[in-house]
Amino acid sequence: MRSKDFLSISDVTIEELEALLERAVHVKQHPEQYRQALAGQTLAMIFQKPSTRTRVSFEVGTWQLGGYALYLSGTDLQIGRGETIADTARVLSRYCNGIMARVFGHADIEELGKWATVPVINGLSDLTHPCQAAADFLTLKERRGTLAGLRLAYVGDGNNVAHSLMLAGAKLGVSVSVATPPGYGPKAEVVERAASDAKRTGARIAVEERPEDAVRGADAIYTDVWTSMGQEQEQQERRKAFAGYQVSAAMMRLANPECVFMHCLPAHRGEEVAAEVADSPQSVIFDEAENRLHAQKAIMVELMGKR
């Protein structure tokens, strides 16, 4: 990759993203060839937010590549007591070979990237979730063989996951339609950036209000929780706003017969998705969860691996 960091799908070119997915396929199929890829290296993992998939996949992945992952919660660092992100980035760069951070504000991950002299990986921010998108499109690639020309519908909150799906889909030739209630749509600047990239690949980026319009004829239907971490005070308001946006069996029937159901997890069955959909043969949610491991190993190999 041209950039030393992986903060957003926007940071990589179309060719780099395609190569990253090819690397992820190879890492998954031939793990024995990568057992020393990070030998002697340490990944500092900063968690402002708790996590299941991000922590376990990065920690296990680093170990499988021959490195060591160091878990650092908000209470383990001096950031919570007034030390600047810039100073933290510079100190960790003297100790570690890479930094992965799961943060609230995207400005924090950008500040880490600005001041760190080692690669910084965005494990999640309020704006983007690039590692999740890499795993999602790896999953679709495995299922369909090729990505160009596919249609993905996202139903729900126009959040960080929706942003990264649009940005990645545009670069990979996958048309992405996002259906959200009024006031909960994706950020305009992200939509514009994705639409610009889509011109090169022939993909279509669209924002709808009616879920039926987005999912009709789709090859994949994706959703996420209606209330993300840090938005708990909005939970009741959001449940009302998102009524009618649950991915149900009836909604799945509007899509292509081979359509898969996708979710970044954790899933709230009975809210954003019906249990019969989440646990159906069409569901690939646990394939996506597994592929977080392989996609992130590929990212670490690309950024931190021995040349």
Measured in degrees and rounded to the nearest 5, phi and psi for residue 261 equal -100, 135
Task: Answer whether the bond into residue 119 is a cis peptide, omega within 30°.
Answer: no
* Pair 23, 17: CB distance under 8 Å: no
At residue 270, does pLDDT exceed 80? yes
Domain shared by 118 and 137, yes or no: no
Q: Average per-residue pLDDT in the chain?
A: 95
pLDDT 10s digits, 97-140: 999 999 999 999 999 999 999 999 999 999 999 999 999 999 99
For residue 198, what are the domain limits?
132-288
DSSP-assigned letter for residue 221: E
Domain shared by 124 and 153, yes or no: no
DSSP-assigned letter for residue 70: E
What domain count does the chain have? 2
pLDDT, position 161: 98
pLDDT 10s digits, 13-60: 999 999 999 999 999 999 999 999 999 999 999 999 989 999 999 999
Tell me which residues are annotated as active site: 102, 129, 132, 224, 264, 292
CATH of the domain at 45: 3.40.50.1370
Cα 5 from Cα 295, distance rounded (Å): 15
CA-closest candidate to residue 172, choices 208, 212, 144: 144
Give the burial class of 45: count Cβ atoms within 10 A of its Cβ; 0-12 exposed, 13-18 middle, 19 or more buried: buried
Model confidence at 227, pLDDT cuts 50, 70, 90, reads: confident
| Structural domain contains residue 1 | no
Element housing 270 (H / E)? none
At residue 301, does pLDDT exceed 90? yes
Domain shared by 212 and 158, yes or no: yes
